[in-house]
Amino acid sequence: MPYGYNGKILHVDLTTGKMEVETPPEPFYRKYMGGSAMALHYILHEVPKGADPLGPENLLTIFDSVVTGASISGQSRINVNAKSPMSGGIGDSQAGGFFPAEFKFAGYDGVVFRGKSPKWIYLTIINGEAKLNDASHLLGKVTGEVDKLLKQEVSDPKAQVMQVGPAAEIGVRFSGIVNMANRMNGRTGMGLVMASKNLKAIVVRGRAKPAIADQKALAELNRAGPPNMATNPDMSVGTLGTAGVVMFQNMLGTLPTRNYNEGQFEQAEAISGEKLAETILKQRDTCYACIVRCKRVVEITKGKYTADPLYGGTEYETLGTFGSYCGIGNLAAISHAHQICDMYGVDTISCGATIAFAMECYEKGIITKEDTGGIDLRFGNTDAMIEVLKQIVTKSGKLGPVLAEGSARAAELWGKGADECLVTCKNEESPAHMPQVKRSLALIYAVNPFGADHQSSEHDPYYEEGVAQFNLDRLKEMGLGEPQPARSLTPEKVRFAYLTQCFYSMMDSLTLCQFVYGPTWGLYGPNDTARMVKAVTGWDVTVDELIELGHRRIALMRTFNAREGFARKDDKLPKKFFKPLVGVGPSAGVALTHEEMDTALDEYYKLAGFTNQGIPTPKTLKQLDIQWAAEYLPT
């Protein structure tokens, strides 16, 4: 009997309804450990070159890891992967909550979906027994309603539900997959892939908690948690949630404002975590077994914009994309927008950023009231933002069908220089951390296999002169000890970007939360992360082995993308990031240069063992013990 995991992966052929259980050997689990590294093993082997992301030949994979469900903070997360309908390259998205742990307790470590069901169905996995059920009665219903209905149908209020919302059913490209009605695998269009298979939901419940190899060692780590909460200043994420960073980002000049043209927002305070806590916070929430409790639950019962606590509360990213990106300082309206996204199941980053993009196009005259159906789509127009959002999630009105495709496709349709207003990398809208200021993040936005992502490496302030000793001590555990000047992209900064990218990549394989196991500011540091994996699985893992796992995942993703025709030409940033920022604050006038990005790319490819076109070499794949992947490299 393995420690930490079930040793079982469920394979579901949706076309035929046939289900099979695979029991991979321990070396398979040790090599990939779970999450997207494990997913890529199946996707790269089976999804044919040039496959339609929304066709039956695409795979949809949902994976826990070997530590999901263990009784310690930050492990209850789950990864979804498939070929992305946003980029045409690999898609990847992670979410937390109680679903991931319950999925493990239901008896499986992952599920691989193939084909397409002839009718809408949902999958139940209850105590190891998997069954496909008719879902036609669930269509068109919002996520909160479906969550309730499915719990009733399995007669268990403690069952956990993962589902696509009505937006995915009608083809909104940046649809996510929602669990608990308030957690989301939001990025890269994974909800649309799930809907393309006529798979409405997955319901799980189980009592099979995998055994832990060293309960005593795990208890010791658990005992260190509360003192770490008290002494680590970054653990304010528990009290204010991710919303707590709004004022810090604003101070740095890295709060994207009016579609990323400025780095400081004059109404930042009105949308801050502090304001949220003072006014609309109902309670804090958590994921399974996590003591950090960073999740917000808000409630607004009066006024034009309401918020139902069922849908949780806004994260920093949502405050950015629907707030400062759109020039909107109305916390109630942003909370309402967040709720609409959760109810209909769309990614708040892509959705809010796409509206901000349309606002800039309108302000520049690229689109007019004729294109908007009469909506005065200026920055700061709160009612217009909500109206356009409603059009997007229902694909209605003049703008809904266009913007439901995301900003990159809308720019192509509109032409007239609309691409100058984009903030996309590989068609994925950029999150609310400005790469002009955090320059190592610029490199990661460019090279990340699934587009701009703020959770794929550590951010620059943690490796710049003046960084707190606490954070630096953690980085030293992974061989990083020379902080660099602010806003630099030196070779050492590139090394920081690469190594921390490998660390974060490992976390997306072990499906760990970055607020708990980050390389600098999490509840636990790199050495503790290795200790935790060892305690749960009994494997004698080291930080180096974990970093190699992260590297393996990146190389597999880059191999998938290379086979689809991606190369250096696709590791690029939007034009906007090379223009000086306007407005006020420390980032006014700041811009990236093409020269520094080119040099950084060369340096990064060398460190990662890729060609100067950004493609993994056969030698690198061999070193990473995935030589089988070489057959998928372009010739």
For ligand SF4, the closer CB: 531 or 563: 531
Which residues contact residue 402 at a Cβ distance below 8 angstroms, ignoring those fewer than 6 apart? 410, 413
Which residues contact residue 220 at a Cβ distance below 8 angstroms, ignoring those fewer than 6 apart? none
In angstroms, give the least distance from the CB of 292 to ligand SF4: 4
x-marked contacts with ligand SF4 along 60-99 as a string, rule CB under 6 A: -------------xx---------------------x---
Which residues contact residue 396 at a Cβ distance below 8 angstroms, ignoring those fewer than 6 apart? 390
Beta strands in 351-433 (DSSP E): 424-425, 428-429
d(CA 294, CA 272): 15
For ligand SF4, the closer CB: 388 or 513: 513
d(CA 359, CA 152): 42
For ligand SF4, the closer CB: 292 or 432: 292
Burial of 419 from C-beta contacts in 10 A (0-12 / 13-18 / 19+): middle
In angstroms, give the least distance from the CB of 230 to ligand SF4: 16
For ligand SF4, the closer CB: 268 or 512: 512
Beta strands in 579-628 (DSSP E): none
Q: Which of 133, 286, 488, 542 binds ligand SF4 (CB under 6 A)?
A: 286
Do 56 and 116 touch, CB atoms closer than 8 A? yes
Going by the DSSP 8-state scheme, the letter that residue 310 receives in this structure is: G
Q: Which of 43, 163, 96 has the alpha carbon at shortest distance from 455?
A: 96
Q: Are strands 183-185 and 129-134 parallel, antiparallel or unpaired?
A: unpaired
For ligand SF4, the closer CB: 518 or 574: 518
- The answer to whether 346 contacts ligand SF4 (rule: CB under 6 A) is no
- The answer to whether 515 contacts ligand SF4 (rule: CB under 6 A) is yes
In angstroms, give the least distance from the CB of 73 to ligand SF4: 6
Q: Which of 9, 78, 393, 513 binds ligand SF4 (CB under 6 A)?
A: 513
In angstroms, give the least distance from the CB of 51 to ligand SF4: 33
CA distances from 534 to 143, 479, 543 (A): 38, 21, 11
- The answer to whether 292 contacts ligand SF4 (rule: CB under 6 A) is yes
Please identify, among the stretches 263-271, 282-290, 322-330, 604-612, the one whose residues bind ligand SF4 according to the rule CB under 6 A.
Answer: 282-290
Q: DSSP for 85-125?
A: TTTSSEEEEEE-SSHHHHHHHTT-SEEEEES--SS-EEEEE
- The answer to whether 454 contacts ligand SF4 (rule: CB under 6 A) is no
- The answer to whether 245 contacts ligand SF4 (rule: CB under 6 A) is no
Tokens of 457: 């490496």
Please identify, among the stretches 402-410, 512-520, 556-564, 627-635, the one whose residues bind ligand SF4 according to the rule CB under 6 A.
Answer: 512-520
Q: Which helix (H) or strand (E) holds 571?
A: none
Please identify, among the stretches 285-293, 305-313, 448-456, 545-553, the one whose residues bind ligand SF4 according to the rule CB under 6 A.
Answer: 285-293
Tokens of 196: 């393309």
Q: Which of 95, 516, 554, 629 binds ligand SF4 (CB under 6 A)?
A: 516
Q: Which of 347, 335, 329, 488 has the alpha carbon at shortest distance from 407?
A: 347
For ligand SF4, the closer CB: 59 or 287: 287
Dihedral pair phi/psi, residue 512, rounded to 5°: -100, 155
Tokens of 23: 């029991």
In angstroms, give the least distance from the CB of 75 to ligand SF4: 8
In angstroms, give the least distance from the CB of 242 to ligand SF4: 8
In angstroms, give the least distance from the CB of 163 to ligand SF4: 19
x-marked contacts with ligand SF4 along 360-389 as a string, rule CB under 6 A: ------------------------------
- The answer to whether 294 contacts ligand SF4 (rule: CB under 6 A) is yes
In angstroms, give the least distance from the CB of 89 to ligand SF4: 26
Amino acid at the residue 618: P
Please identify, among the stretches 292-300, 464-472, 565-573, 589-597, the one whose residues bind ligand SF4 according to the rule CB under 6 A.
Answer: 292-300
Provide the terminal-to-terminal Cα distance of the chain, rounded to the nearest Å. Answer: 43
Please identify, among the stretches 409-417, 513-521, 530-538, 559-567, the one whose residues bind ligand SF4 according to the rule CB under 6 A.
Answer: 513-521
d(CA 338, CA 347): 9
**Binding residues for ligand SF4 restricted to 612-631, rule: CB under 6 A:** none
In angstroms, give the least distance from the CB of 29 to ligand SF4: 22
Please identify, among the stretches 472-480, 481-489, 500-508, 509-517, the one whose residues bind ligand SF4 according to the rule CB under 6 A.
Answer: 509-517
In angstroms, give the least distance from the CB of 432 to ligand SF4: 17
Please identify, among the stretches 158-166, 291-299, 347-355, 495-503, the one whose residues bind ligand SF4 according to the rule CB under 6 A.
Answer: 291-299
In angstroms, give the least distance from the CB of 383 to ligand SF4: 32
Q: Which of 192, 290, 403, 621 binds ligand SF4 (CB under 6 A)?
A: 290
Q: DSSP for 52-96?
A: -TTSTTS-EEEE-BTTTTSSSTT---EEEEEE-TTTSSEEEEEE-
Tokens of 254: 């890295």
- The answer to whether 287 contacts ligand SF4 (rule: CB under 6 A) is yes
Please identify, among the stretches 298-306, 440-448, 497-505, 510-518, the one whose residues bind ligand SF4 according to the rule CB under 6 A.
Answer: 510-518
Tokens of 326: 């759109």
Which residues contact residue 590 at a Cβ distance below 8 angstroms, ignoring those fewer than 6 apart? 253, 263, 436, 437, 487, 580, 581
For ligand SF4, the closer CB: 95 or 167: 95
How much is the CA Rg of the chain, to the nearest whole Å?
23
Please identify, among the stretches 252-260, 288-296, 359-367, 465-473, the one whose residues bind ligand SF4 according to the rule CB under 6 A.
Answer: 288-296
Q: Which of 562, 561, 541, 610 has the alpha carbon at shortest distance from 31?
A: 541
- The answer to whether 4 contacts ligand SF4 (rule: CB under 6 A) is no
For ligand SF4, the closer CB: 101 or 386: 101
Q: Which of 197, 295, 454, 493 binds ligand SF4 (CB under 6 A)?
A: 295
What angle (nearest 5°) sits at the alpha carbon of residue 445, between those of residues 325 and 97?
A: 75
For ligand SF4, the closer CB: 287 or 358: 287
Tokens of 187: 């990025």
> 34 by DSSP, 3-state: which?
strand
Do 136 and 317 touch, CB atoms closer than 8 A? no
Q: How many residues bind ligand SF4 (CB under 6 A)?
A: 13
Instruction: Name the site residues for ligand SF4 (rule: CB under 6 A).
Output: 73-74, 96, 286-287, 290, 292-295, 513, 515-516
